[in-house]
Structure 1
């Protein structure tokens, strides 16, 4: 029941937003060259689904997103387990982490472009950098929330440090890691599109948006590209939330959902 209410309220919110945009565009409050009616934007977005070149660009963006997010998981989860399990290592690298974490990934685009060029490698590197932090800190936090009684029980039965990590700490931390991956997935998509927009050439959804804004009366295409980007984000988040509900139904945020 709760999930159905969320879906209905979400659909209602989308319809109200679209209706408002349609009314503003039709009434002429804002020039159509700046804000076309929502119906025209959605129609164009549907038309783009039949454009092979556009779909190839979307595929390039999704590939960079998946590679960057995958590399972030490979780096962040083991590093988070290490930092959360060995306080000495955490103390040794804490200053470096706190220095790097606030650096905006977009500000690194010129440097990374000089080192790696302007292709997929640059996008993947920036996506990986931005996506590492939510997964890393969620992993460390999850380890800190592990039940100490369960760990002490295994130690009392003679299990070693690695066994405790694999049998208790990692399963208990898994929901936190999954939440970090979900947050990083959104960050990764933002970085993929933003990097393409700032690059201005190549292939990708961001390239389509960047080139459309330079065209005469290209606002409709820009907004249609934004609709596609938002749709991708919605689909990704929905899939990840569904996966969390199936894998970790005992967590407080999913317990009791129907």
Structure 2
């Protein structure tokens, strides 16, 4: 994905961060759902449409968590490596990235929820293709509306979201036991 390298670049090179900040701050608050018609006009509806919107929407939580994680890196650890002759790339790979990794993982978990929301929303708005959003859409426009089917679709979307979040939390706890222990949380 593009969000982590971009977050590493913006979070570790202040000049690039300053040069791109206004563009990033302009794009970030645009609701991804509002872009559904624009993206449909530009690339059509279908899988490419959904993928483009999901990638765009998922970029922000990962990007900002990467940048936030880099800001919290212990300056003494970075200076120690520099004192031993390590250059900026080595400091980034040996200290900054491992230190920011738990924050990046949190960004991935948030992005998974955003991706699910946008996928279902895109399917509902487009009313085309296959997916739970299309199922919910057609249940809602049926005459009479099939409330039980709508609720079942919403329930399964919620259950899928809970499952994905639980799997990502478990992977995060396993990969970053040291981070949870340091914060006094059960690992």
Q: What TM-score bracket applies, with the shorter chain setting the length?
A: over 0.9
SS in 2 for 1:251: helix
Q: Which is bigger in relative contact order (C-alpha 8 A, separation at least 6)? A: 1
CA-to-partner distance for each residue in 1:79-110, whole Å, 9 max, x for gaps? 00001111000000000000000101111111
Deviations 1:49-90 (A, max 9, x none): xxxxxxxxxxxxxxxxxxxxxxxxx11100000011110000
Q: Tell me the equivalent position of 1:235.
A: 163
Within 5 Å, give how 1:182-193 maps onto structure 2. 182-193=109-120
Decide which of 27, 37, 49 is 1:122's aligned counterpart: 49
Q: Which residue of 1 aligns with 2:73?
A: 146
2:21 equivalent in structure 1? 94
Does residue 205 (structure 1) correspond to residue 140 (structure 2)? The answer is no
Query: Residue 164 of structure 1 corresponds to which residue in structure 2?
Result: 91
Report deviation, 1:256.
Answer: 4.0
Task: Tell me the TM-score normalised to structure 1 length.
Answer: 0.70
Distance in 1 of aligned mates of 2:66 and 2:91: 16
Q: Is the 8 A contact 2:65 2:104 kept in 1?
A: yes
Q: 1:248 aligns with which of 162, 176, 182?
A: 176
CA-to-aligned-CA distance 1:83-141 (integer Å, 9 cap, x gap): 11110000000000000001011111111001111101011111111110110011011
Matches of 1:186 and 1:80, distance apart in 2 = 19
Deviations 1:27-47 (A, max 9, x none): xxxxxxxxxxxxxxxxxxxxx
Determine whether 1:257 maps to 2:186.
Answer: yes
Say if 2:15 is the partner of 1:83.
Answer: no
> How far apart in 1 are the matches of 2:184 and 2:159?
27
Query: In terms of Rg, which structure is larger?
Result: 1
Structure 2 unaligned regions, length at least 5:
none
The runs of at least 4 consecutive aligned structure 1 residues that moved more than 2 Å come to 250-256
**Number of equivalences:** 185
CA distance in 1 between partners of 2:138 and 2:160 (Å): 20
Aligned partners of 2:94 and 2:160: how far apart in 1?
36
